[in-house]
Amino acid sequence: MKITKALFAALLLASGLALSAAAAGAESAPAAAEPPPPPPALGTEYTEKGADTCLMCHTEAWAYPIFPIFKSKHAQRADARTPFAKFQCETCHGPGAKHAGSGDKNAINSFKPTSFLSPEERNKFCLECHRGNARTGWHASTHASNDLACTSCHKLHAERDPVLATATQPEVCYTCHRKQRADFAKPSTHPVRSGRITCSECHNPHGSNSEALLVKPTVNQTCFTCHAEKRGPFLWEHAPAAEDCTLCHTPHGSVYGTLLKRNPPLLCQQCHTVSGHPAVARTGAALPGGSAGASGFLLAGSCTNCHSQVHGSNHPSGVKLMR
Ligand code: HEC
Ligand code: HEC
Ligand code: HEC
Ligand code: HEC
Ligand code: HEC
Ligand code: HEC
Ligand code: HEC
Ligand code: HEC
Ligand code: HEC
Ligand code: HEC
């Protein structure tokens, strides 16, 4: 037994040594053989005939469909601001004479993740025309700092860009945001699955001045764009509702009803104790039909059976949020 163990250990050691020797060999061999290739670089010359030159090779038969772009806003030559009113394909893809002469894929901005250009360098071509409006905050956004490219979301060689339509946008976001896909499949959600509202009604994916890329400076202001009746002002405010809706609600989806983070009474008891309430015996006598008469404290819905105005009350005697 002892002998076999020792033999085994020796074998292991030997094979380990052999492996590391092989690895060292593999590392050093190519470095010695070839000088490093010159770094890829965009061309500097534009083609003379623009799109006509490109389309000689990039025909309808090209594996990637090029032609749908002619049905998009970018191909409106009558609009002087568009790429096709300028250097056509090369307004976006960069000076293309070098590529058109060689077919070298490293002499053109492909916008693809495999490109030799960094996302920032690729985005420059788009930001040339689109740096204003909603994209003013792009460089400071979470998406820019996580190295997203404009083309992580946008499809340009398409008649319709899926990320711009309410019904198809969520799928684009879910490719990276899987947790949100799961959230929007829960029993209580904002009606995103049914296509009634979409992510960009609450978020500006290009950047914003608030947390979580929200379209408005605060969570509550974002909610009020659609739930204006919750804005107040109320005669009797409920402090948490005035402060932050997400103290009780989750914005995407919940397993509890009404997008709540948890159900009352637990929801309420995170902040409130029972002090101030008359002492109620938690016995069967207080159940519906019991000898003491049904107690609201034991029924489903509990706190909100009595305190129904959890968002604030305008009733003169609504101080306890009961009417
Ligand atoms: C002489 C034929 C030819 C012409 C002209 C031509 N291309 Fe290409 N292009 C190719 C070939 C071949 C490839 C594939 C290269 C590869 O995959 O290695 C390609 C690939 C591309 C790619 C993808 C690069 C990548 O990383 O996969 C883009 C973008 C492109 N061409 C744009 C253009 C534009 C814009 C023009 C006009 C300025 C143009 N091409 C003109 C032959 C041509
Ligand atoms: C508005 C900017 C824009 C214009 C104009 C434009 N493209 Fe593109 N092109 C892109 C983007 C972005 C991609 C990356 C794929 C995508 O997101 O659709 C791309 C991808 C490509 C590819 C690579 C496809 C692949 O994956 O192999 C080729 C080839 C190409 N374009 C050729 C052309 C030609 C030819 C023209 C002119 C007729 C043109 N493009 C005009 C933005 C543009
Ligand atoms: C030469 C200027 C120019 C360049 C470069 C350019 N665009 Fe545009 N883009 C325009 C113009 C002009 C419109 C039409 C705006 C309008 O109708 O108000 C437009 C429209 C759009 C739209 C809205 C399309 C729609 O159907 O409503 C998107 C999205 C867009 N561009 C994204 C991009 C991206 C991404 C890039 C880089 C790959 C890019 N653009 C490059 C000028 C440009
Ligand atoms: C994370 C996904 C995402 C990225 C990355 C992204 N966009 Fe967008 N973009 C959208 C969505 C979603 C809309 C639709 C917004 C709406 O309907 O309010 C949009 C709309 C647009 C529009 C048309 C509407 C408008 O606001 O004028 C343009 C132009 C545009 N984007 C350009 C860009 C450019 C340029 C970049 C890169 C700097 C970029 N986008 C990066 C998701 C994205
Ligand atoms: C290519 C991947 C990708 C796509 C597509 C994408 N995102 Fe993101 N997003 C990220 C990354 C990476 C982060 C930062 C890390 C994180 O929070 O997961 C992020 C963060 C966010 C945040 C949180 C920002 C913050 O400051 O906390 C929001 C909100 C968001 N994305 C919304 C969207 C929306 C809406 C879309 C679709 C229009 C979208 N994203 C599409 C990759 C993506
Ligand atoms: C009704 C408004 C609303 C809609 C619609 C919405 N969100 Fe959000 N989202 C929010 C709010 C508010 C937050 C901040 C959450 C917080 O502070 O607890 C947030 C946070 C996020 C975050 C940051 C991480 C997190 O969960 O806190 C991501 C990523 C995100 N949303 C993606 C999406 C995507 C993708 C969609 C569409 C499929 C979407 N959101 C639709 C309101 C919304
Ligand atoms: C773009 C508009 C819009 C915004 C912004 C918005 N909501 Fe909604 N909200 C809706 C719609 C539409 C419904 C569904 C109403 C219906 O089904 O009748 C809804 C429903 C709800 C519900 C009830 C859900 C249920 O299951 O009954 C709650 C709670 C809610 N929203 C909270 C919020 C909060 C919190 C915010 C801010 C983070 C917010 N909403 C922002 C449009 C919006
Ligand atoms: C203290 C916890 C709490 C806070 C904070 C809160 N809610 Fe609610 N919300 C509830 C409860 C509990 C319900 C369910 C009421 C019921 O079932 O009778 C509800 C229901 C809703 C509903 C659906 C029913 C209705 O009344 O229209 C909407 C919409 C809503 N809340 C929006 C908001 C918005 C917007 C904010 C932020 C301004 C907010 N809520 C803050 C606890 C809260
Ligand atoms: C995030 C903490 C928080 C949650 C959750 C919360 N509340 Fe409150 N609530 C407060 C604060 C803070 C006040 C103000 C207390 C004060 O002014 O003394 C308050 C006030 C009240 C009042 C009025 C008290 C008075 O003396 O006027 C009632 C009633 C009330 N809450 C009921 C509820 C109910 C019912 C729920 C569950 C649906 C709930 N609260 C959830 C923090 C919370
Ligand atoms: C059967 C009806 C009923 C139910 C159920 C109920 N309350 Fe009350 N609550 C009252 C009444 C009535 C008052 C006013 C008592 C007073 O003025 O002395 C009150 C007062 C309060 C106050 C203010 C305390 C104070 O000192 O004035 C808070 C906070 C409160 N309730 C929270 C809750 C919470 C949290 C729940 C759920 C666990 C709940 N209530 C369930 C009837 C109810």
What are the DSSP calls for 218-239, one per residue? SHHHHHHTT-GGGS---SB--H
- Return mean pLDDT, the chain: 85
Cα 252 to ligand 10 centre (Å): 30
pLDDT computed for residue 19 by the predictor: 39
pLDDT computed for residue 283 by the predictor: 63
CB count within 10 Å of CB 90 equals 25
Q: In this model, does residue 24 exceed pLDDT 90?
A: no
Indicate the burial class of 22 (C-beta count within 10 angstroms; 0-12, 13-18, 19 or more).
exposed
Please, are residues 39 and 91 in contact by the beta-carbon 8 Å criterion? no
pLDDT computed for residue 135 by the predictor: 81
**100-105 CB contacts, 8 Å cutoff, 24+ apart:** 100/47, 100/53, 100/54, 100/57, 103/57
Ligand 2 pocket mutation pick from 55, 69, 87 by most atoms within 8 angstroms of CB: 69
Please, are residues 157 and 65 in contact by the beta-carbon 8 Å criterion? yes
pLDDT computed for residue 7 by the predictor: 42
For the stretch 173-210, pLDDT in tens is 999 999 999 999 999 999 999 999 999 999 999 999 89
Pocket lining for ligand 3, CB < 6 angstroms: 73-74, 79, 81-83, 86, 91-92, 111, 125-126, 128-130, 150-151, 154, 156, 161, 164
pTM: 0.91
d(CA 49, CA 57): 13
**Tokens in use for 32?**
């010695």
d(CA 222, CA 65): 39
Rg, Å, the chain Cα set: 31
For the stretch 208-239, pLDDT in tens is 989 999 999 999 999 999 999 999 899 999 99
d(CA 278, CA 258): 29
For the stretch 255-313, pLDDT in tens is 999 999 998 888 998 898 866 666 554 566 666 677 766 666 655 557 888 899 999 99
Task: Compute φ and ψ for 219, nearest 5 degrees.
Answer: -60, -50
Cα 309 to ligand 9 centre (Å): 11
